[in-house]
Amino acid sequence: MNCEVCQLKELEVEHFQIREVLRCILHTILFHRALGLVKPKDIDLELFDITYVQCGDVELERKIEEKIDLFIDRVEKHPNKKNQICLSFYEVKNRQATWFTNKVERLYWEQWYINLYVVQHPKPQHGKSHHSKILVDPGESMSEERTARRAALESSLREILFHIIKFVNEKKDHVPPIPNLDGISFPYEITISSSSDSAFGMDMLKRMLQTGHPTMLS
């Protein structure tokens, strides 16, 4: 089985922009790889003039929020590092168990790499944690430089959304038959890594060259 790999353009973000950016990208990919009937829900970003669509599934939203929390924790523990989230879709294949292998094997058929570089600025002192739905900085007037960075990020984010839509419309031959499973999505996993991980570069290369079970870095 061939595994299609999509390396998305690296985005330079500020800490308070992480949650919205990751929500937007992850939900967009999962919506376009959704199975059967969904309840599309339009979401207007608060920090950018962009609207995207979610599947309207509470459990899917919960899982994404958990991974974003882990990503933000990683950023805070490893500042000034490039950080990456990989969203992988896979099939489950049952194999005969041996003393050194599991009975169930994951065959990866599509992987999306979301790359963020978090610019470090002093955190706003307003008492909110990253567990808030949106972390904003209302007390600081935005400089021309930050305004330009936000405009550039908005443009890049919009470009990524168009790229996702183009990719899923053009790349179809590798998509497996719809599994007889509950849920709105193909089986998937979300893993997190940063350039502080020794296996960061090699793991990414291995994932691009083969479809074997990747090293879990979450």
At 141 the pLDDT is 53
The answer to whether residue 214 is domain-embedded is no
The answer to whether residue 120 is domain-embedded is yes
**Phi, psi at 155, each rounded to 5°:** -65, -45
The answer to whether residue 109 is domain-embedded is yes
The answer to whether residue 140 is domain-embedded is yes
Domain range enclosing 94:
4-209
Across 90-123, b (16+ Cβ under 10 Å) vs e yields beeeeeeeeeeeeeeebebbbbbbbbbebeeeee
CATH of residue 204's domain is: 3.30.900
At 49 the pLDDT is 96
Q: Average pLDDT across each block of 10 residues of the chain; the chain has 218 residues. List them in order.
A: 88 94 97 86 95 93 96 87 91 70 80 92 49 53 80 96 94 80 80 64 47 36
Q: Number of folded domains in the chain?
A: 1
Cα–Cα dist 215/213, whole Å: 7
**Taking the CA of residue 45 as centre, how many other CA atoms within 13 Å lie in the half-sphere pointing to its CB?**
22
Which token pair is 33?
Answer: 């790889």
The answer to whether residue 29 is domain-embedded is yes
How many other C-beta atoms lie within 10 A of the C-beta of residue 51? 11
Strand partners, 106: 92
**Taking the CA of residue 158 as centre, how many other CA atoms within 13 Å lie in the half-sphere pointing to its CB?**
13
At 9 the pLDDT is 93
Task: List Cβ<8 Å contacts ≥24 apart for 99-108.
Answer: 105/213, 106/187, 106/189, 106/213, 107/1, 107/211, 108/3, 108/207, 108/211, 108/213, 108/214
Whole-model pTM?
0.77
The answer to whether residue 218 is domain-embedded is no
The answer to whether residue 40 is domain-embedded is yes
The answer to whether residue 215 is domain-embedded is no
The one-letter amino acid code at 30 reads: L
